[in-house]
Amino acid sequence: MAEKPDSLGDLLRAMTPDDGQARVSVADILDEIGDRSFAPAILIPALILVSPVSGVPGTPTLGALIILSCALQGLVGRRHLWLPGVLRRRSLSAHRMCRAIAFLQRPAAWIDRHSQARLHLLTGIPLRQLAFAMIAATALTWPFLELLPFVTSFGAGAVSLIAFGLMTRDGAYVLAGYVVLAVMVLAGAGVVAGVT
């Protein structure tokens, strides 16, 4: 692809394994989207965690590490994305990646059709930094929630909305992600209050 993706369709194409490819690594995908694409680099693992692949043990923690690394670099204003070799080498089987892509294709096409440049204030500096901070804080919880099957998918959905909004400069999706996070925090507080 070699240029910044600007739609979910672009990202799904970047995630698609080549013919005969057995595994898809983080490095393979980053090579497709480039090293200046912070929001897309966050969005890809978040999308994978929205899919049934999130049920694979270790996947939420790996996704959290990648998202946290990208979000923190975006937060401090780095111009180029860097990931350590241990994360770049992590991979998913081509079969599982294709399953995730198939699961995401229809909703991705709908979201792409309903995206437009709006509410720019939420996607520009300094609120862009706030978005990266919220993404990082959300991803930090996932390793602790991994024992609860698919719970991280809800947080990944919120992160996906925020990252998609940043990527397309559509503040409506950023706002939707904040609403999902607020509902999750309120629901979690309610559960804790009910238990104690």
In a domain, 51, yes or no: yes
In a domain, 145, yes or no: yes
pLDDT at position 55: 75
pLDDT at position 46: 92
pLDDT at position 133: 94
- Taking only the tens of pLDDT, the chain with its 196 residues reads 445 677 888 888 888 888 888 998 888 888 888 767 788 889 989 988 888 777 778 888 999 999 999 999 988 888 888 888 888 888 888 988 898 889 888 988 999 898 888 998 898 888 999 999 999 999 999 888 877 767 788 899 999 999 999 999 999 999 999 999 999 888 877 777 777 6
pLDDT at position 52: 79
In a domain, 147, yes or no: yes
Give the chain's domain count. Answer: 1
Query: What is the DSSP secondary-structure string of 49-81?
Result: HHSGGGGSTTHHHHHHHHHHHHHHHHHTT-SS-
pLDDT at position 162: 95
pLDDT at position 158: 95
In a domain, 42, yes or no: yes
Structural domain that includes position 157: 8-195
In a domain, 1, yes or no: no
In a domain, 73, yes or no: yes
Radius of gyration of the chain from its Cα atoms, rounded to whole angstroms? 16
pLDDT at position 3: 59
In a domain, 36, yes or no: yes
Q: Do residues 26 and 90 make contact, with C-beta atoms less than 8 angstroms apart?
A: yes
Sign of CA dihedral 5, 6, 12, 18: negative
pLDDT at position 19: 84
Bond prior to 126 in cis (omega within 30° of 0): yes
Closest C-alpha among 132, 196, 183, 121 to residue 159: 132
In a domain, 90, yes or no: yes
